[in-house]
Chains A and B, each alone.
Chain A
Amino acid sequence: MSAGLLIDLSLVLMLVGLALQVVRGHGLFRGIVFFVAFGLAMALAWARLGVPDLALADAAIGAGVTGALMLAAFRRLVELDPAQARPTVAPHSPLALAIALLAALLVAVIGLTTIGLEHDPGRAGGQVLERLPETGLGNPVTGVLLVFRGFDTLLEMVVLLAALLGARIVTAGDRVPVRAASGEVLPLVGSLRAIVIPLTLLVAVHLLIQGADDAGGAFQAGAVLAAAGVLLLLSGRLVPSERATGMLRFALVLGIAAFMLMAWWPIMQGRGLLAPPGKGTILAVEAAMMLSIGLTLTLLFSGSAGVRAEPS
């Protein structure tokens, strides 16, 4: 057995084991924690499969942001009813087991069939690599996201904003905002924050700029930015507020606005909708997207209309 196969096998076994724990583990809290671990294992699997963009995205968004949102929702449940924190176990069901086994079998057959298929040599992926130099980008994934399938990404930004607006509409009347800090002043939090926040911002900007030519991009960078926002909320430096300032609303739609400007600008010049912009324009639009994504995810975590800075 080769070392490569051994690594793949242990990775897959880890994924399956963690997934089992998410489903069968005692209590909701354990389930969420194992889900975050599963997300990180997925990131390892992506890295092993040679797709670092997805590894970064799954680590930052799939594990990090989703986990943070789950834990925030869990805390709200426990605040409403402390009994929610009790460890429990889901019942066993032979029928569900049979259905799940059949579904897994079906998925395995489909998967094993597709990996054996002949691929069309002229398919879109090859054309992306061929025409990538026209965009001035080095990372084909960023090229697809921002140029070749830019419309998808624009609508993806709208979906993110719609999720925030929907969540606001649903919870607006409930008055169960996340309490920012426990009230007591922890002596080490301030200095930890002073080290971690600048580093987080550095990583976010680095991911953004690196994304033009290498693994990274606006979504990964935005998720890292959101991590900084979550940390500031948890340590009480940012507090949820029930009023969104004009500035904050502007920042929320900045990414979509910049993207639409990039789409329309070539029309004004008589070229065409979403004609390939230069690398500088793409980076500027991505920077705007990063800000909007980071802020949207932070607000989804805080569950409030806005956030404001609290002088420490």
Chain B
Amino acid sequence: MNAEVFVLGAAAVFGIGLYGLLIAGHLMRKLLALNLMVSAVFLLLLLASEPIAGTIAGQPDPLPQALILTGIVIAVSTTAFALALMVRYFARTGQSALDPDSADDD
């Protein structure tokens, strides 16, 4: 395993997610981009930990794993709620972007 390769990959995904968040007009695109950033942060969180010394085959630290697992569930909860908000917003206003001027990709 080459931690550096994954760190650089996570940084790239984070940057791509941020770029997507900034350029997207459509709220669902923003959500997709946010979820990309979340994944990158999870990857970094795991990479920052190191295997526990003195265990068989260097067992990965269980604590960040549990935190990430919790994070994945929280991410899906907030995404579900945000999607419900977005559908409601669209049903009421007919807009898919918060700022009507930037409603570019709908």
Residue positions of A touching B, CB distance < 8 A: 4-5, 8-9, 11-13, 15-16, 19-20, 22-24, 28, 31-32, 35, 38-39, 42, 45-46, 48-51, 53-54, 57-58, 61-62, 65-66, 69-70, 72-74, 76-77, 80-81, 83-84, 88-93, 95-97, 99-101, 103-105, 107-108, 110-112, 114-115, 117, 119, 121, 123-126, 128-129, 140-141, 143-145, 149, 152-153, 156, 159-160, 162-164, 166-167, 170-171, 174, 176, 217, 219, 297, 300, 303
Contacts and interface: CB of A to CB of B under 8 A. Distances in A.
Given A84-B106, A171-B87, A23 B17 contact: yes
B72 A28 contact: no
Nearest to A160: B77
A125 B63 contact: yes
Given A23-B33, A96-B23, A124-B63, A115 B69 contact: no
Interface in B36-69: 36, 39-40, 42-44, 46-50, 52-55, 59-66, 68-69
Contacts of A50: 1, 60
Contacts of B16: 16, 19-20, 22-23, 100, 104
Nearest to B51: A50
Interface string B22-40: 1111101101110110011
A142 B8 CA distance: 30
Given A77-B96, A114-B47, A163-B80, 19 more contacts: A15-B13, A23-B23, A23-B33, A51-B46, A61-B73, A70-B32, A73-B86, A83-B106, A88-B105, A88-B106, A107-B14, A107-B15, A112-B7, A125-B49, A126-B54, A149-B63, A159-B73, A164-B80, A300-B84
Contacts of B105: 28, 88-91
Contacts, number: 284
Contact of A77 (B7, B22, B68, B90): B90
Contact of A23 (B7, B19, B54, B77): B19
A130 to B, nearest CB: 9
B23 A91 contact: yes
Contacts of A74: 28
B72 A58 contact: yes
B23 A8 contact: no
A297 B81 CA distance: 11
Contacts of A217: 69
Nearest to B87: A76
A8 B40 contact: no
Contact of A70 (B28, B52, B62): B28
A62 B76 contact: yes
Residue among B23, B33, B48 with max Cβ neighbours from chain A (10 Å)? B23
Given A23-B16, A141-B69, A174 B6 contact: no
